[in-house]
Amino acid sequence: MKIPERNDADNILFHCRRQNPDDFPAFRSLIFDGESAVEIELPCSGRIGTGELMQGIAAGYRRVVVLSCGEKSCVHKFGCMEAKKAFNKAKALAETAGIDIKRFTFIEADDPELELK
């Protein structure tokens, strides 16, 4: 997957095709604080790799956000778990590289604490 060069957008959002980011207006305003974001739709959030997340940071995006289905609601069964694994590896790598890990955000769509809808 080629990560688009950062032009005007400040953030990059990878989302499962079953999750529409427009359904989460509050999430959008909370996470991005009104800033623009490049949206990349994935067939399943499990297809995201550590490489893509790290390349998002290397390309200069302020935040890298993954919007995934929940662990129990993923129709592909392991998509969310795979996405989390890649996400945690990217965070560990970024931390070693001296990057602020707050620049990474993972959202599980059916998280009961995520009362943003």
Partner 1 sequence: MNDEGKNILSDIPGACGFSNGAHGPNDSACPVTRYRSEFVPSRLIDEARSGWFPRGIRHCLGCELCSPGPGVSFPSCADDLVLEGGHREGYIPRAFGGALDAVWSLQIAGNSRQKRLDWITNDIQITNENESGKVALFVGCAPYYDALLADEIGFRATDESRAAVEMLNSVGVSPVVLPDEVCCGGDRIHAGDRDGFIALGTRNRDLLKERGVKTIVTTCDDCRYTLGNRYPGRIPGWDFKVIRLADYLVERGGRLAFMPTEQVVAIQPPDRYSDPNSVESIRKILTKIPNLITKELEPGLPSTFGSWGQFDAISKRLETDYLKAAECTLAESVLVPGTRMLVRLMEGRRPGSWEETSIKIKGFYGFLAEWHTVALEFTGA
Interface residues with partner 1 (CB under 8 A) are 49-55, 57-58, 89-90, 92-93, 95-99
The smaller minimum CB distance to partner 1, of residues 89 and 116, is found at 89
- Cβ 106 to partner 1, closest distance in Å? 17
- Cβ 102 to partner 1, closest distance in Å? 13
Residue 28 vs residues 21, 46, 63, 117: alpha-carbon distances, Å? 8, 21, 12, 10
33: tokens are 């604080």
The smaller minimum CB distance to partner 1, of residues 67 and 90, is found at 90
CB-based contact 83:46 (threshold 8 Å): yes
CB-based contact 26:60 (threshold 8 Å): no
- Cβ 60 to partner 1, closest distance in Å? 9
The smaller minimum CB distance to partner 1, of residues 18 and 84, is found at 84
The smaller minimum CB distance to partner 1, of residues 40 and 93, is found at 93
3-state SS of the chain: helix, strand, coil percent to 5?
40, 20, 45
85: tokens are 């694994």
- Cβ 87 to partner 1, closest distance in Å? 12
